[in-house]
A and B are shown apart, each in its own frame.
Chain A
Amino acid sequence: MIEITSDCTGCGRCVKWCPFGAIEVVEGKAQIQVNCTLCGSCVQACELGAIKMKKEPLKPKDLSEYKDVWVFVERKDRGIREVTFELLGKARELAQKLGEKTCAVLLGENVEPFCKELAAYGADKIYLAEHPHLHEYNTDVYTSIIGGLISKYKPSIVLYPATKTGRDLAPRLAALLETGLTADCTGLDIKDRQLLQSRPAFGGNIMADILCPARRPQMATVRPNVMKKTSPDHERKPVVINIPVQPKLEGIRAVVKESLRTLKEEEKSIEEANIIVSGGRGIGSKDNFQLVENLAKVVGGAVGASRAAVELGWKPKSCQVGQSGKTVSPELYIAIGISGAIQHLVGMRESKIIVAINKDPEAPIFNVADYGIVGDLHKVVPMLIEEFQKVKNRK
């Protein structure tokens, strides 16, 4: 329930803010219209504190009202981020266990053509909001719209990618909806009709199982490459629900002025890559890094770097793996000339297979490696490249 108190002066600020066009000023006072979704953006907009949202106390809600498993669709320049399909695969598995539907939430401009692809990877239903102002992600705008949709349609579970965008959006929504959120889940399952969320903590030293018993929706973020996408079924036709929205930019408090790409067009960000070849201080020089890049090219992987290599200016920050860089979990991680400081291990130990090449047999990287080669990288890496090349030629 939104309540307008007598402090309202009819200034119209909230009208500008409401992304659903659900407020009008009538006789000098704001009035909430029937299409209000309870997103709460007007409460934040009002400088006089004249708009109040009556919230139910934090007690068990009627959980049976909440149905369906939702996935927030993250877009990139042209298309959908892979992690979205991975989440849809997981969401479908959870929804089937619950006997509920898998839904995708897609915001953007002219994004309707993507609905087919989302359906192919598992979405039964797509909530689609299109508007030129939704082209670029914005915290305020996206929170209002998705928060509104969740309040209205009441999903039992919502999954977000643990990307920069997902990690900006999901906690904001959790606070708005007064519900739980579990970051970076590596396992999701259904236990007694609840979402069982498993995640590593303390740099992967312990695992925790987490439930959100009394609040809905149950929300979690998942990193790229953690879940498996299912093979697409292009015959599947989605139900598309068009959500009319009118996001206004006047009320927006934080605006992106400029986006700079340090990643080349064809490059995948290392968080999304299936194979990463990383180099560290042991590489020795910027020129020697070519060796790492050559290996990456042969195996079809992205190039990563340790903090030391980034600090030495051999690779840009966007390649950095580790605590002050990116956390990755590819199928294959090849660490070359990286000793394996705890800060680096934290960022890559969830990788499925780890290969380490280092001349020091005592290097801590060998403790987490599935395969280790002790030797001079300048000899070993060219040999590896040759071996991989042979395999490639065989095919």
Chain B
Amino acid sequence: MTHIVCVKQVPDPETKVKINPDTNTLVREGVPSILNPFDQFALEECIRVKNKIGGKITAVSMGPLQARTTLLKCLALGADEAVLLSDNLFAGSDTFTTSYILSVAIKKIKDFDIVFCGQQAIDGDTGQVGPELAHHLGISQVTYVEEIISIDERKSVVKSISDEGYKIVEAKLPVLLAMFPPSSFKPSNPPLRNILQAKQKKFINWDAKKLGIDETRCGLAGSPTRVIRIYPPPLKKKGIIFKEEPEVACKKVVEELLGKGVLK
């Protein structure tokens, strides 16, 4: 059995995103990249599952060739093999197209039982690729999964976060689990020894041709949505910071809030 983990390389959130004013596109050069922390949690949970029920872990990522470093990190963390889906034809894919391309690759890997992914990526924050991928694969999904309670060859029991608390969900395999890390989760870096070993593991590169994918369904051409403009958010008026006597400050703030009609 193969457990699939879908990962994304994302810009480091500690760095401020810049827009090129001439082209209206994101400046990606010089911005350090990291493995999406939600995906790292998914991978670490997948490793736990593998330790319990066996199987092989394949990490899959769609992205530019530089995303190789992210997949190498996955291998160092414990994935058994990596698949990088990279092609100019994939550029400009929205969530619909991204999930479709991933599904074609995963179907090619075959014999999968669980597909793990992060609930969302910290750059786009849509949380859409997981459920869309589950549909394209024709399997069920559980989103906002914080913990895998039990798992065997046939079914999984997971704890998923709901708006009011938690749900315990039982899902037959194959299933896609969109993982949401608990507050205590801190993405760690693998030890150097594992990083060196990672380079010995199987690394597969697939482009559109190798995937045998319908090119009209890839990238911008296949994407239903179009970003027509990106722009900096409207500048927020600089706030009023009171550094004087707190009594005065509190009075003023409450007055201001009353004036804005916030307090009823």
Contacts and interface: CB of A to CB of B under 8 A. Distances in A.
Interface in B95-144: 95-96, 99, 122-136, 138-144
A95 to B, nearest CB: 21
B169 to A, nearest CB: 5
Contacts of A354: 239
Q: Is the interface of B mostly helix, strand, loop or mixed?
A: mixed
B164 to A, nearest CB: 5
The interface size bin for chain A is 35 or more
Nearest to B136: A175
A89 interface: no
A71 B142 CA distance: 23
Interface string A351-368: 011110000010000101
B141 to A, nearest CB: 6
B240 A371 contact: yes
A373 interface: yes
Given A254-B169, A259-B166, A373-B253, A176 B226 contact: no
Contacts, number: 267
Contact of B164 (A262, A324, A368): A262
B165 A259 contact: yes
Given A323-B122, A372-B240, A254 B140 contact: yes
B257 interface: yes
Q: Is the interface of A mostly helix, strand, loop or mixed?
A: mixed
B191 interface: no
Given A139-B141, A206-B17, A201 B216 contact: no
A340 interface: no
Contacts of A213: 226
A178 B183 contact: no
A193 interface: no
A387 B166 CA distance: 37
B233 A212 contact: no
Interface string B194-224: 0000000000000000000000110000111
Interface stretch (B66-74, B83-91, B244-252): B244-252
Interface string A209-253: 111111100000000000000000000000000000000000001
26 contacts: A164-B161, A167-B131, A175-B133, A180-B96, A180-B223, A184-B126, A202-B123, A207-B232, A214-B224, A258-B167, A260-B165, A262-B164, A263-B165, A300-B264, A317-B161, A318-B165, A323-B13, A366-B241, A368-B236, A370-B240, A371-B257, A373-B242, A374-B241, A374-B242, A388-B263, A391-B254
Interface of B: 11, 13-14, 16-17, 19, 26, 37, 94-96, 99, 122-136, 138-144, 157, 161-172, 175, 180-185, 216-217, 222-233, 236-237, 239-243, 246-247, 249-251, 253-254, 256-258, 260, 262-264
